[in-house]
A and B are shown apart, each in its own frame.
Chain A
Amino acid sequence: MILRKLFIFNILLVAFVGSVFADDEGEKKEFNAAETILHHVQNTHDWHLTDYYGTDESGKKVKKSVAIHFPWFFYSSKTGFEFFGSTHAMHEDGRFVAYHEHPKALAAGMSIPEDYHGHGDLPEETFEADHFILDLSPSKAVVHMILVGIALMLIFIPIARAYKKNEGKAPKGMQSFFEPLIMFVRDDIVKTYLPEKAVNKYLPYLLTLFFFIWFSNLFGLMPLSSNIMGNIAVTGALAIMTFIIVQVNGTKDYWTHIFAMPGVPKGMLFLLTPIEIISLFVKPIALMIRLFANISAGHFMILSLICLIFILGKGGESVGGALGIMPISIAFTIAIFCLEMVVAIIQAYIFTLLTSVFLGEAMESHDDHH
């Protein structure tokens, strides 16, 4: 057991080597709030922890950043699967920056000029691959989702075991903290909207959905983390899962109501059927955008309020301005932060609720009123 743990730890260490590299943009730049905010909400290939000012070999003052770089993983139609470690591993042959910025080019079998070490842009055509390349490398959101998944497993597997162990007895410890929430999802969401026979089949998925979204949102509010659900690809994937589950479970009645609504004149169907088909796709798209926009909006708000200090402080020139706005900015940030903690669980609730509503709609049979 210990050996296995060590092994996993070792793999993590090898794959995710942290690196410190210098950036030539040490000179004073005007503070750009939009750029800063976008940089913070973007999904990247490294986990950027912090920046600091240091000196390079020639004694020049440069901005250095501390970041954890994730491994690169490509599928190339010419060479098959290609795996690169983090940028640090590439440092030895003097090309780590090139790997860092253009790993796709290397997967394509392009050669990087020997004298290229810096951050300067290489001509674009150097990296035009003549064959198909699929970028499968994990990004920040992926790694953070895995972390959330591990946290979920660490919390909920013991809880599930505890339910088996003290069956019929009062819950203990962590179990008693999460029991009200589990009961809430089961009774107020799943049992209300799903037909009786489907409750036990879909309860595990819906519980996972609820806690995964909630934990991801809370994780996103922690310092140094990324906003997982503020990434439209993540919410899109969740929405696609909802879409597939709903369509797979659609009864005959469900499809009849889409393609030929009963009790409607034939002429009206020309109008109604396209609308029904569009609404089929609008539902998951709305799910995707709702979660994405809510979580992104919260991050934008918090970052904008923090950026106010830097805008009024004019990048360190006006200390009075920064000090003046600081209490207001911090107070508002704390208020928004508390609101976001609530939004985190409300959005998880709404996503789970709507998924069960759509699922319930698809599984319902309309024999009773037609």
Chain B
Amino acid sequence: MEGVDGNIGVIGAGIGAGLAAIGAGMGIGRLTASAVESIARQPEATGDIRGAMILMAAFIEGVALFGEVVCLLAVFV
């Protein structure tokens, strides 16, 4: 029975890690798409837009990494 429990935990962690990656991918994808579009419209604002983009990407990534760390804990602890 112990083995079964462990396996279910690992499956859950795997699915969770995947979902977190999907979320972050969608978020950063949309963010980057808009940022590139804005740069194309207004090339003189490239520097500002890039800075804002990296900042926001870091926030999105942070949320995804919370998820990944929880998944890691599910596997190892």
Q: Do A and B come from one complex?
A: yes
Binding site for B on A (CB under 8 A): 38, 188, 192, 286, 289-290, 292-294, 297, 346, 349-350, 353-354, 357
Asked whether, in the complex, the Cβ of B65 is within 8 Å of the Cβ of A350, the reply is: no
A286 and B66 within 8 A (CB): yes
Which residues of B pack against A, CB within 8 Å? 47, 51, 54-55, 58-59, 61-63, 65-66, 68-69, 76
A11 → chain B, closest Cβ, in Å? 37
Whether B55 and A357, one on each chain, are in contact in the complex, defined by CB atoms closer than 8 angstroms, is yes
Instruction: From the candidates A192, A290, A353, name the one contacting B54 in the complex (CB within 8 A).
Output: A353
B51/A293 in contact, CB under 8 A = no
Once the chains are docked, how many angstroms separate the CA of A38 from the CA of B72?
12
B54 close to A293 (CB less than 8 A): no
Q: A290-B58, A350-B58, A354-B58 are in contact. Are A188 and B51 (CB under 8 A)?
A: yes
Least CB distance, B60 to chain A, in whole angstroms = 11
- Rounded to whole angstroms, the CA-CA distance of A350 and B76 in the bound complex is 28
A350 to B58 Cα, complex, angstroms: 7
Please indicate the chain B residues that have their CB under 8 angstroms from the CB of A297 in the complex: 68
With contacts defined as CB atoms under 8 Å apart, how many contacts are there between chain A and chain B in the complex? 34
State the CA gap A294–B65 with chains docked (Å): 8
A245–B23 CA distance with the chains assembled, in angstroms: 32
**Contacting pair A192 B62 (CB below 8 A):** no
Q: Which residues of A contact B76 (CB under 8 A)?
A: 38
- A30–B75 Cα distance when bound, in Å, is 20
Describe A's contact surface by its main secondary structure.
Answer: helix
Could you tell me the distance between the alpha carbons of A138 and B63 in the complex, rounded to whole angstroms? 32
In the complex the two chains form, what is the Cα distance from A102 to B43 in whole Å? 63
| A289 and B65 contact, CB distance less than 8 A | yes
Contacts of A38 in B (CB 8 A): 76
A38 to B59, CA, bound (A): 28
B58 near A293 (CB under 8 angstroms)? no
Residues in B whose Cβ lies below 8 Å from that of A293: 65, 68-69
Centre residue among A290, A294, A297 by max chain B CB count within 10 A? A290
Q: Give every chain A residue within 8 A of B69 (Cβ-Cβ).
A: 289, 292-293
Closest A residue, CB atoms, query B76: A38
Query: In the complex the two chains form, what is the Cα distance from A353 to B55 in whole Å?
Result: 8
Residue of B at shortest CB range from A38?
Answer: B76
State the CA gap A354–B51 with chains docked (Å): 11
Instruction: Say yes or no: B68 contacts A290, CB within 8 Å.
Output: no
- B47, B54, B62, B68: which contacts A286 (Cβ < 8 A)? B62
Chain A residues within an 8 Å CB radius of B59: 286
How far does the Cβ of B57 sit from chain A's closest Cβ, in whole Å? 9
Q: Are A289 and B58 in contact (CB under 8 A)?
A: no
Question: Which B residues are CB-close (under 8 A) to A353?
Answer: 54-55, 58
